């Protein structure tokens, strides 16, 4: 469990990793259509056939897997950031309760 005093530093470090991971995911996701177009352009049939076969291309499937991994990475960091926020709120709530108990005595 992380100490209250270390939450801000941990949040900053994880936030930096989250932003890098999210940027990577967004870049890969934006490139999806470009990769599909490159895979489809290798084929000289109708547009529908080119699209269908392009989506089956090894390079396109590899790109989709990279998108999935990048998204999983940034979502992991996002979940960790949310957990840090909840931990901080919990510490603050506990401290507030203690202060209120001291006042009542």
Supply the range of the domain harboring residue 48: 4-104
Residues 54, 97: Cα–Cα separation, whole Å: 61
Count of domains observed in the chain: 1
- Contacts for 30-35: CB closer than 8 Å, 24+ residues apart: 31/63, 32/63, 32/64, 32/67, 35/59, 35/60, 35/63
Angle at CA 72, nearest 5°, toward 18 and 70?
A: 70
pTM metric for this prediction: 0.78
Written as tens digits, the pLDDT of the chain (105 aa) is 778 888 889 999 999 999 999 999 999 999 999 999 999 988 888 889 988 999 999 999 999 999 999 999 999 999 999 999 999 999 889 888 888 888 876
User: Distance (Å, rounded) from C-alpha 75 to C-alpha 17?
Assistant: 11
């Amino acid at each position: 469990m992380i100490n209250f005093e270390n939450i801000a530093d941990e949040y900053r470090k994880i936030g930096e990793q989250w932003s890098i991971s999210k940027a990577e995911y967004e870049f890969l996701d934006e490139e999806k259509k470009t990769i599909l177009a490159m895979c489809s352009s290798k084929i000289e049939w109708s547009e529908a056939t080119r699209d269908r076969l392009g989506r089956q291309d090894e390079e396109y499937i590899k790109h989709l897997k990279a998108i999935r991994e990048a998204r999983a990475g940034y979502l992991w960091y996002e979940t960790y950031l949310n957990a840090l926020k909840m931990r901080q709120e919990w510490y603050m709530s506990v401290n507030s309760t203690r202060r209120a108990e001291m006042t009542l005595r």
